[in-house]
Chain A
Amino acid sequence: MNSIASTWAVVVKDVRSELRTRYALNALLMFVITSVATILFALREDELNPEILSGMFWVVIFFTAMSGLSRIFVSEEERGTTLTLQLVASPSVVYFGKLIFNCGLTLLLSSAVTVLYVVVFPAFVIKSALIFGLTVFLGSLGFASAATIIAAVIAKANTKGTLYPVLSFPILIPLLMTVMKSTARALDGELFTAALGEFQILVSYLLVMTAGSYLLFDYVWKE
C-alpha cells in the first residue's frame, strides 16, 4: 500500500470508530452550545461590538477544541491500540491520518460556531465573507495542526484533560491573536487587501507547525 492510501485508511478507521460512539462529536457540540449559552446569560440584553464578538468567537472555538481534539490520541491509549497502530503503519502515515481527521473535526466545529453566532448575536454580521471564510479555514487548519501534535504528547501523561489547554495555549497564541484581528476585519467589512498580512501569518504558522510536527512526531510516537 502506498503512503497516501494508508494515510486515508487511518482517516477512515478514525471516522468509523468516531461514528460508532460519536463521543467527540457529541461532546464538542454540547460544549459549543453550553459555552455560547453561558455568554448569552452573562450578557442578557447588552449588545456587543464586533471587536469583542470576534474575540469571543475564537474563545469558544479554543475551549471547545481543547475539550475534544485530544481524543484522537488519548482514545488509542485508552483502548490499548497504540501498539497495533505502531506495528501496522509508519509514523508519518499515522500523523497525517490523525491530522486530517482533526482538521475535519475543527472545520466542522468552527462552522457550527459560526452558524450559532450568526443566529444568536444580532451584532455578528459577516460583512466580508471572503476574509471571514478564509480566516476560519486557515485558522482551523492551523489550530488542528498544533492541537494534533500536543495531543500526541499528552497521550502518555497522567493528567491529560487539564494538561491539554495548558500546553496548547502558549503555542496557539500567535494564531489566536491573528485570527481574532482578522475576524474583526471581516465583521467591519474591510477590503480583502487589508487582511493580506494576517493571511501571510496564518499560512506561515500552518506550514511551520505542520512541518515541525511531522519532523518531531517520530520521537513522540516511537517508544
Chain B
Amino acid sequence: MKAVKYLAIILVTFVIIAGIAIPMVLQPQSLLEFPIIPGLEDKARNIFFHVPVAWTSVLGFLVALFYGFKYLRTKNLDYDIKSVSSAGLGMMFCLLATMTGSIWAKFNWGSFWNWDPRETSIFILLLIYGAYFALRSALGSDEVRARLSAVYAILAGLTAPFFIFIMPRIVGGLHPGAKGDASGSTPVAQLHMPPNMRIVFFAGLIGFSLFFIWLLNVRIRAARVEHQLSIKDH
C-alpha cells in the first residue's frame, strides 16, 4: 500500500503541475507545448481533472457494488465495511465531478446545467449515492443494513446500462460522443489528443485511481477500528 500511496502522490502532483503549467501555443513544436483547441483554449486543461474524477466516482460505485455482492455471498460483515467505505469515497468524487463539470459547462456551454445525457447520468449517480446512505441510516441492525444496502446497490447498478448505452443515443447532448457528434456517438468518446496531452491525461486517470485505492485503504482501516470499538462498547 506504501507503493500505491507514493505512486499516487507522484502521478497526481505531475498532473497538477504539467496540466496547469505547460503552455498552449498555436503550433506545438516540442513535448512541452500543448496545441490550442479552438473554442476551448485554456479551459481544455480541466480535462486532466474532470475526467479522472468522474471516472473515479464510477469506480467507487463499482467497488461498492462488488463488495456488496461479495457480502451477499459470504455474509461477512467486513465486506460491508469495504462496500460502504468505497461508496462514501465515490460520493465525494461524484460531487467533485459534478462541480468541475458544472463550472466547465458554464464557461463553455453558457450555463451551469444543461441536462445533457452525461450530466443527467452523474446527477442520477449522485441520487443513487444519496439514496444508498439514506437507506443505510434508516436500518437498525448491522446485518440487515449490510444486506439491504447491498441489494439496493445491485438494483441501482442494473439500471446503469440504460444510462451508459441507451440514453446518450436518444437524447442529443453536448459532451463528445453524444448523439449528433461528428466523430460518431459511442459510449466512450474517442480521444483526439496529441501524445503529450495523452500522457498527462492517462497519468491523471491512473493517478486518481491509485489515490482512490489509497484513500479506500485508509477508510477501511478506520472503519474496522470503529466497528471493533462499537462492539466493545456493548
Contact = CB atoms under 8 A, between A and B. Distances in A.
Contacts of B159: 170-171, 173-174, 208
A137 interface: no
Interface string B175-214: 0000000000000000000000000000000000000000
A158 B151 contact: no
Given A153-B135, A177-B167, A205-B162, A167 B72 contact: no
B155 interface: yes
Interface in A53-80: none
A166 B167 contact: no
B166 A153 contact: no
Given A169-B127, A170-B127, A208 B135 contact: no
User: Which bracket fits the contact residues of A?
Assistant: 20 to 34
A13 interface: no
Contact of A149 (B128, B155, B166): B155
A153 B138 contact: no
Given A166-B130, A170-B131, A159 B156 contact: no
B25 interface: no
Main secondary structure of the interface of A (DSSP, over half): helix
A153 B167 CA distance: 27
Given A153-B148, A174-B159, A216-B155, A167 B134 contact: yes
B94 to A, nearest CB: 13
A205 B162 CA distance: 8
Given A150-B152, A163-B138, 19 more contacts: A156-B148, A157-B138, A157-B139, A157-B148, A158-B138, A163-B134, A166-B131, A169-B127, A170-B128, A174-B166, A177-B171, A181-B170, A201-B166, A205-B162, A208-B159, A209-B158, A216-B154, A219-B72, A219-B147
22 contacts: A146-B155, A153-B148, A154-B135, A156-B139, A156-B148, A157-B135, A157-B148, A158-B138, A159-B138, A163-B135, A163-B138, A169-B127, A170-B124, A170-B128, A170-B131, A170-B156, A173-B159, A174-B167, A201-B162, A216-B154, A216-B155, A219-B150
